[in-house]
Amino acid sequence: MADSRFKGAFTATITPMSDGKVDEKALEKFVEWQIAQGIHGLVPCGTTGESPTLSHAEDKRVTEITIAVAGGRVPVVAGTGSNSTEEAIELTRAAKENGADAAMLVCPYYNKPTQEMMVRHFEAVASAVDIPILIYNVPGRTAVDMTPETMGRLAKVDNIIGVKDASNDVVRPYRTREQCGADFVNLSGEDGTQLAFRIADGHGVISVTANVAPALVSQLHEACHKDDYTAAKRIQERLMPLHDALFCETNPAPVKYAASLLGLCKSDLRLPMSEISDGAKRQVEAAMRSAGILN
């Protein structure tokens, strides 16, 4: 059976910033709010957490704070990926030392590794650090797509337990299950495909939308746990305009603006990311009102 800790709605958390620095107080309050809203788990320092522009010290600190505030109430999956295997091992070791429940590692970006090269990368991290590992497959960001067959090879590694799949392919969970087995944790990495993944016996989502709508995203997956797909469909339909709006410009700029409208943090980003356009702001605000999360 797939590890029950890694099922349901996980938030790919933003990293609050102010005046060019990580806003630790806002981060602490944000994590507390997420848990109070019923989220099932947290994933700091992924793409949505602006990991490409965090220093290693900041990356480790954001993870440390998230774990400390969560206090074991929900699992924390630390984003520790890099296009350098050596750096990925360093970040993964730090995550384990800080008490992360698992690590999530993106497929090496920019290098454009072959399938064989990706296998060697993930095997090297898994052998160096004894912590549960989720592969993060996001072809739109990395320019490489890990195939289900390659995942099947990696599923044989004891501590590689699952995948966050942001391929936006609703057929993918069936093929992953065929190659990796039912015990391999299969999480959607796209809010728009999360219900399709659950119908295909996927286990949950690592969500951008849950940054600002954690209660609704959690309720969607709780309905799926009960096989109440009619209720889950209603929630997904309510959230779809928001899912779309949060990607109207490059993530995480829209979701940071959305979070600022809720008073969760400033909309500050670190270059090369910058504030969204006025038209995008109107789209985000309208979608939040439509979803009923902004009065």
Distance CA 129, CA 115 (A): 22
CA 95 from centre of chain: 16
User: What pLDDT does 295 receive?
Assistant: 87
Query: Residue 125 carries which DSSP code?
Result: H
Q: Which residue has the tokens 């959607």?
A: 188
| Token pair recorded at residue 133 | 């590992």
pLDDT tens string, the chain, 295 residues long: the values are 678 899 999 999 999 999 999 999 999 999 999 999 999 999 999 999 999 999 999 999 999 999 999 999 999 999 999 999 999 999 999 999 999 999 999 999 999 999 999 999 999 999 999 999 999 999 999 999 999 999 999 999 999 999 999 999 999 999 999 999 999 999 999 999 999 999 999 999 999 999 999 999 999 999 999 999 999 999 999 999 999 999 999 999 999 999 999 999 999 999 999 999 999 999 999 999 999 999 8
Q: Cis omega before residue 132 (within 30°)?
A: no
- For the entire predicted model, the pTM comes to 0.97
Catalytic residues: 136, 164
- Find the angle CA(166)-CA(80)-CA(177) to the nearest 5 degrees: 40
Distance CA 78, CA 44 (A): 6
Distance CA 121, CA 116 (A): 9
User: What pLDDT does 2 receive?
Assistant: 74
User: What pLDDT does 4 receive?
Assistant: 84
What is the second-level CATH architecture of the domain 4-228? Alpha-Beta Barrel (3.20)
Alpha helix (H) residue ranges in the chain: 24-36, 56-70, 85-98, 115-128, 139-142, 148-154, 172-180, 194-199, 214-225, 229-245, 253-261, 278-291
Q: Of 181, 106, 172, whose CA–CA distance to 139 is shortest?
A: 106
The β-bridge relationship of strands 17-18 and 21-22 is: antiparallel
User: What pLDDT does 67 receive?
Assistant: 98
Q: Which residue has the tokens 């409208």?
A: 261
Query: Residue 144 carries which DSSP code?
Result: -
Residues contacting 232, CB < 8 A, separation 6+: 195, 198, 220, 221, 223, 224
User: What pLDDT does 3 receive?
Assistant: 81
Distance CA 223, CA 202 (A): 14
Q: Domains of the chain: which residue ranges?
A: 4-228
Distance CA 40, CA 122 (A): 26
